[in-house]
Amino acid sequence: SFIPNAPDAVAVGIPADILRRRPDIRALERRLAQQTALVGAVQAELYPKFYIDGSFGLQAENIDDLFDGQSLTASIMPRLQWRIFEFGRVRCSIAKQESVTEEMRLEYQYAVLQASEEVNNAIMNYVKLQDQYDEQLEAVKNYNEALKLSYDLYETGKREYMVVLDSQRYRLSNQLALASVHAQLASSVVTLYTALGGGWQTDPQSSVSMSDDYLRASFVPGSQIQMSAPGESINQQGTAAQRGLPGNVQYSTKPQQSYSTDLPPEGNRSHRNPVPQPMGNGSITEFPNSPSAQSIVTQPAGRVGNRAGR
């Protein structure tokens, strides 16, 4: 079956901003804001309320005088309402709503931290699988060379054909491993997009190279995540340095292509050098535009200049 290729670049951005794109985080934030507003409404019961009631109408002793200008009447009456004798009940209601608000605030904070952990794990898994893919791709290339050498030795009579078959078997085993890592890499991209919320883009042209070590240092336990106070939204205008967070992170990959060769039949030795073949019987499945992690690029806040990637 077809295995989709990982994209050439996966933009991550500032974690505190990206997490707010997740539907679950946004829903919890709105629920917390609603509950905070409810606390304010309950607290308002401690203060008096002033009303002004007014009315107007027509009044006359005879129906013929009903629509006379002198039959028009109007009244204005102020009114005061204050639950002064229910302060105990109001304060208990306030304490209850504040407890619910604190519970929802902790739930929101836990969801943000859990989402941050999911993003961190997805990033690390994506980088790890890119490394594994590079290693496995290099192994397949090496076994292709080994197969060519073993066949050349077989043609010169220095090796038995069993050596050629062993080389084919080792190459096929590594090809299967490469396909497995390729599938895992594609799945890790889906997991990363899911953790980040998806449906967003950043400008890949405003990035500079950086190393894996800097990326891993940027997502260590203890990194600060700016939380919004109850009923407030997270300030997205602050710089990454003010938040204690790294800048816009982006993973860059370089397309590569791998193919292998078919050996001619044992009885046909006219072909000294194997030639590349398309997909078919006995040939390796071709991976066009296979991703190979080359560097991790970012635009750290308050930084200028390039840092060498991998």
Model-level pTM greater than 0.85? no
**Where do the domains of the chain lie?**
9-38+88-219+244-299
CB of 252 within 8 A of CB of 9?
yes
Measured between alpha carbons, how far is 165 from 219 in angstroms, rounded to an integer? Answer: 47
Nearest partner of 15 among 227, 167, 261, 257, judged by Cα = 227
All residue ranges of the chain with pLDDT < 70 are 1-2, 7-12, 15-16, 18, 199-310
Count Cβ atoms below 10 Å from residue 60 Cβ, excluding itself. 14
pLDDT at 255: 34
pLDDT at 9: 60
Six token digits for residue 66: 């009903």
pLDDT at 149: 92
Measured between alpha carbons, how far is 225 from 233 in angstroms, rounded to an integer? Answer: 13
Nearest partner of 119 among 236, 208, 245, 237, judged by Cα = 245
pLDDT at 268: 41
